[in-house]
Amino acid sequence: MKFGIIGLGYVGLATLCGLAKAGHEVIGVEKDQPRLLRLMNGEVPFHEPGMADVLRDYPGSITFTDSIADVETVDYLVLAVGTPSKSDGSCDLTFVDEALSEVKSKQKIIIRSTVPPGTTDLLSIMYPAHTFAVVPEFLQEGRALADVLKPHRVVIGSDNLEMSEEVAGIYGRLGVPLVCTSPIDAEFIKYASNAFLATKISFINDLARLADKAGADITTIADGMGLDPRIGRSFLNAGLGYGGSCFPKDMQALLNVAHENELDLPVISAAMHSNDSQMAYVASKVEHKSGIKVAFLGLAFKPETDDMRDAPSVTLARHLALREIDIVGYDPLAKWDYPQAMTPEAALKGADVAILVTEWDELVNLKPEAFDGMRTKRLIDARNAWKYARDPGTVQYEGVGRMQNKANTPSSM
């Protein structure tokens, strides 16, 4: 089959690469000229494992263009443009509308962009010549291509039975569960999934703050909870809270949809408030003293990506910069606007405090002697991930919710 992909960010390019590996012909449409030029030269404009290999190995199956007119004859048109937040938190559908307004021929359109519940129904009215199916993405940066090739499930939302069956036939070859439903249900599944995972992170961070006070170890608590199959261990990692380009945006958009329907979502609201509080809580672990130097170990919002959109490192740095604290960072790939070192050891040299922000393998496995260049060898492990936490040597180790203060622990009877 022949597919056109409009928008070649993380979702669009991962979808394009997955379809090419599956043996389909794909045409990628990208309006951003510098990004388009890099793609035409076989370069991936961001770090994502496996994508460069696909561009190299399937050149005959992949074409790039900046014109939507070049995809007018494809079998399916995949919409993967951005849907950023407006100033009021609602979802900005400008790029969706602009793309569809340029499509002149009758098309079967698969929507991969994250859109609020009810959007596809509205688009069907606005663009009656097209047939729509919404297939929300559940990709994790750092393993986006792997998630395209072997997702946990595929959700297909369409009111057109023929379109639903055709798309199910395409994705059915992956051998994963298919959920065929209405467009609004499919859109809801995407938002509900992200909101639940974000809430799970906020929940464990709430308990981590209590564990710090009471003298408990949140990691052991999470391990014990996670053995219950109704709960599961994933997304129960206490630390800085959630960030990135999806969770904050989708949580706010979901609240906006609720507001439009004259409803409150107190659990979602509380999860967002807890996430904001967690950042301030971790920042409070650094002495309120100007002139000290803090080394950030890791900058990207998660390992195996260079994405800095809504990265916790930036928010945390702002908290500390307001207190006139000197900041330096290190990351294998990501860049930021604060001073940055070329190696972890260079970042740590002369620092009073180190904060493990992103759990890259090289940072998680830093040996205690790597901290010898610090003025004060103190590590705040904001991801509870440092390999030597149980045997830190001369490093003053402090995790999040890991038995930091036993003073308030009730005495034994």
Q: Look at residue 407 in the predicted model and tell me its pLDDT.
A: 44
What does the alpha-carbon distance between residue 21 and residue 57 come to, in Å, rounded to a whole number?
A: 9
pTM over 0.75: yes
Q: Look at residue 290 in the predicted model and tell me its pLDDT.
A: 76
**What is the bridge-based pairing of β-strands 378-381 and 396-398?**
parallel
End-to-end CA distance of the chain: 72
Q: Look at residue 99 in the predicted model and tell me its pLDDT.
A: 95
Q: Look at residue 404 in the predicted model and tell me its pLDDT.
A: 60
Query: In the numeric block, which tokens belong to residue 72?
Result: 């007018």
Contacts of 363 (CB under 8 A, 6+ apart): 297, 298, 330, 344, 356
Establish whether domains 2-181 and 203-398 are of one fold. yes
Considering the domain 2-181, what is its CATH architecture? 3-Layer(aba) Sandwich (3.40)
| Per-residue DSSP letter, 91 | B
CA proximity to 185, closest of 246, 262, 234, 118: 118
Known catalytic membership, residue 17: no
Q: Which CATH superfamily is domain 203-398 in?
A: NAD(P)-binding Rossmann-like Domain (3.40.50.720)
What does the alpha-carbon distance between residue 354 and residue 327 come to, in Å, rounded to a whole number?
A: 10
What does the alpha-carbon distance between residue 259 and residue 154 come to, in Å, rounded to a whole number?
A: 29
Q: Each residue's pLDDT tens digit in the chain (413 positions)? A: 999 999 999 999 999 999 999 999 999 999 999 999 999 999 999 999 999 999 999 999 999 999 999 999 999 999 999 999 998 989 999 999 999 999 988 999 999 999 999 999 999 999 999 999 999 999 999 999 999 999 999 999 999 999 999 999 999 888 899 999 999 999 999 999 999 999 999 999 999 999 999 999 999 999 999 999 999 999 999 999 999 889 999 999 999 999 999 999 999 999 999 999 999 999 999 987 778 999 999 999 999 999 999 999 999 999 999 988 999 999 999 999 999 999 999 999 999 999 999 999 999 999 999 999 999 999 999 999 999 999 999 999 999 999 765 544 444 33
Q: Look at residue 287 in the predicted model and tell me its pLDDT.
A: 86
- Looking up tokens 């402090």 gives 398
What does the alpha-carbon distance between residue 154 and residue 168 come to, in Å, rounded to a whole number?
A: 9
Domain ranges for the chain = 2-181, 203-398
